[in-house]
A = this chain, B = another copy of it.
Amino acid sequence: MNTPINLKEKSAKLDEYWSPRVLGELDDSYYAKIAKLKGSLAWHSHDEEDELFIVIDGQLKIEMKDQTVELSAGDMYIVPKGVMHNPIAEEECSVFIFEKKETKHTGNTETGKTRSIEEQLRSI
């Protein structure tokens, strides 16, 4: 049975930055995730997948080649497939992420912050 999930409560339970956790799935093909961010991730892109962000708390900057967007709590932004981007949180920030199950959060770039889907599926 599905239960309601409070996004702020879930993000408060995260004990590691840049380590998204799955909250639910849609149509067997997408994951809704929550992540707590601080610092910068890594330049990367997702060749085949758009990626939707909604900032829950704090502020998130997404650097791209052609522009940088600055997102505050309540802001939504979709990073289009194929666009190189680098998320930066100068202060701690929490975000809701919606993306295909196969999307890797560091895209084609393997970094120390890359997390397997098994790690992301651990319950919180």
Residue A123 interfacial (CB < 8 Å): no
Instruction: Say if the beta carbon of A78 comes within 8 Å of chain B.
Output: yes
- Tell me the residues in window 36-53 of chain A with beta carbons closer than 8 Å to chain B beta carbons: 49-50, 52
The answer to whether B75 touches A4, judged by C-beta atoms less than 8 angstroms apart, is yes
Given B7, B66, B70, B80, which contacts A75 in the complex, CB threshold below 8 Å? Answer: B7
Q: Is the CB of B98 within 8 A of A6?
A: no
Closest B residue to A81 by beta carbon equals: B27
Query: In the complex, which of the residues B27, B32, B76, B81 contacts A4, with contact meaning CB atoms closer than 8 Å?
Result: B76
Neighbour of A27 across the interface among B49, B67, B75, B77, CB < 8 A: B49
Which chain A residues in 75-99 approach chain B with CB under 8 Å? 75-81, 96, 98
Q: List 28 A-B contacts (CB under 8 A).
A: A2-B69, A2-B78, A2-B79, A2-B80, A3-B69, A4-B69, A4-B76, A4-B77, A6-B72, A6-B74, A6-B76, A7-B75, A8-B74, A24-B76, A24-B78, A25-B50, A25-B78, A26-B50, A26-B98, A27-B49, A27-B100, A30-B30, A32-B76, A52-B98, A54-B54, A54-B96, A56-B74, A98-B98
